[in-house]
Amino acid sequence: MATIVVTIKIMPESPDVDLKAIENKATEEITKFGGDVGKVEIEPIAFGIKALNLIFIMDEKKGSTDSLEESIRNIDGVESAEVSDVRRAIG
């Protein structure tokens, strides 16, 4: 099996939500799931709302990320969380 690079996009409930707190809790969930966060990007959306993109690597053997997405959705202040990109790592 291969290593995959996954991007999960997290939308906060409002512009007032602390993105750093969400980032920390989501990183904990990803680590528990067996992933290793490598990069965090903040993406401006509209009306002051910014999405949080967490890019991490994981073993393809783990399979679906549905349970991870659900656990991140349950973090306080998170409106939605979904995988926006999956790629196999080369090398």
Which domain covers residue 73, as residue numbers?
Answer: 3-88
What CATH number did the domain enclosing 8 receive? 3.30.70.60
43 pLDDT above the threshold of 70: yes
CA atoms 13, 19, 21, 23: torsion sign: positive
| Mean pLDDT in residue range 19-48 | 95
Q: What is the pLDDT of residues 11-27, one digit of tens each?
A: 999 999 999 999 999 99
Our count of domains for the chain comes to 1
In sequence order, the β-bridge partners of residue 83 are 8
- 54 to 1, 37: CA distances (angstroms): 23, 7
**pLDDT score, position 90:** 77
